[in-house]
């Protein structure tokens, strides 16, 4: 009987340690509630704890990564900051290009009304034919103020026509003289450049070729302006272009030798060459 009582006490002790009937499953969560954590799930990381992947690299949440990228964009790239720095302003630029010139606002031309057919010319208009409008207006003004009529008016008109003719002759002679002075100037510039110790002499053909090459490569628009205007560059500009060629082509040997004879050059090519003044 003593053994039976000991057995009953041992069985009761086992039940208190965890035996007995299995506990019932927890009821399902109600709508809007989160399910209770399972026994095998790892505990959620506390606020501020870092997370790492299986290779040991820190896992950065997407929100934090976007925030870092935004801060970097806001600060800007130092290279871009250096590139965006404005250059120093040049005082009294020699080129004439500094501040933007004032803009000229052109008014639209007034609309012309439909003109009625012109009446046949009067006797006075026939006498004034060939006179410039400024001279014709002078005749009309003097005719009214001095009451010019008949022969006096005819003499005054003839006087104004001769005055206009003399003025046209003067302008033509002035243009002829300007062309003559330009030829004299070109001869002087050509001699100065040919006799220049750094540009002329045996180096003259080579320097001309190098100067032409600089214009072709770096100033095609400027060369076209020179060609259209048929202008001759100053010796100082030619020396500057030659020095630029020395820096641009330091190791390249240009073609030496005398230029081709004039009869071998095409006339059109020679006319279009802004440096043709120096090759005569």
Confidence class for position 257, pLDDT limits 50, 70, 90: very low
The string of pLDDT tens digits covering residues 241-256 is: 999 999 998 755 544 4
State the distance between the two ends of the chain, measured CA to CA, in whole angstroms. 148
The Cα 8–Cα 279 span in angstroms is 134
The string of pLDDT tens digits covering residues 13-55 is: 555 555 555 555 556 656 555 555 555 555 555 545 677 777 7
In this structure, the number of other CB atoms found within 10 A of the CB of residue 60 comes to 13
The string of pLDDT tens digits covering residues 162-187 is: 999 999 999 999 999 999 999 999 89
Report CA torsion sign: 30, 31, 34, 37: positive
Q: What is the pLDDT of residue 271?
A: 53
| 128 touches 157 (CB < 8 A) | yes
Provide the token pair at 115.
């003109």
The string of pLDDT tens digits covering residues 135-152 is: 889 888 888 888 888 888
Q: What is the pLDDT of residue 266?
A: 46
Per domain, the residue ranges of the chain are 126-174, 195-279
3-state secondary structure at position 202: helix
The string of pLDDT tens digits covering residues 59-110 is: 776 666 566 665 555 555 555 655 556 666 666 666 666 667 778 888 888 8
Q: What is the pLDDT of residue 197?
A: 92
Say which residue, 119 or 258, is predicted with more confidence: 119
Reply yes or no on whether the pLDDT at 216 is more than 80.
yes
To the question of pTM greater than 0.85 for the whole model, the response is no
């Amino acid at each position: 009987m003593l053994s039976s009582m000991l057995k009953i006490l041992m069985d009761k002790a086992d039940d208190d340690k965890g035996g007995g009937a299995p506990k019932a499953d927890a009821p399902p969560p109600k709508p809007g509630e989160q399910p209770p954590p399972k026994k095998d799930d790892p505990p959620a990381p506390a606020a501020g704890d870092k997370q790492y992947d299986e290779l040991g690299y820190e896992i950065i949440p997407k929100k934090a990564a976007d925030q870092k990228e935004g801060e970097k964009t806001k600060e800007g790239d130092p290279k871009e900051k250096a590139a965006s720095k404005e250059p120093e302003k040049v005082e009294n630029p020699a080129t004439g290009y500094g501040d933007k010139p004032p803009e000229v606002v052109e008014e639209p031309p007034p609309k012309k009304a439909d003109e009625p057919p012109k009446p046949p010319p009067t006797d006075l208009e026939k006498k004034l034919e060939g006179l410039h409008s400024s001279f014709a207006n002078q005749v009309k003004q003097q005719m009214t103020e001095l009451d010019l009529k008949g022969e006096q008016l005819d003499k005054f008109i003839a006087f104004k026509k001769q005055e206009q003719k003399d003025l046209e002759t003067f302008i033509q002679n002035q243009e002829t003289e300007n062309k003559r002075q330009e030829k004299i100037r070109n001869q002087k510039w050509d001699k100065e450049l040919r006799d220049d110790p750094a540009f002329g002499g045996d180096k003259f053909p080579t320097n001309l070729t190098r100067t032409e090459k600089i214009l072709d490569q770096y100033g095609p628009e400027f060369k076209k302006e020179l060609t259209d205007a048929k202008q001759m560059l100053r010796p100082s500009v030619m020396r500057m272009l030659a020095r630029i060629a020395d820096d641009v082509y330091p190791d390249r040997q240009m073609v030496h030798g005398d230029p081709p004879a004039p009869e071998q050059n095409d006339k059109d090519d020679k006319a279009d060459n802004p440096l043709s003044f120096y090759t005569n």
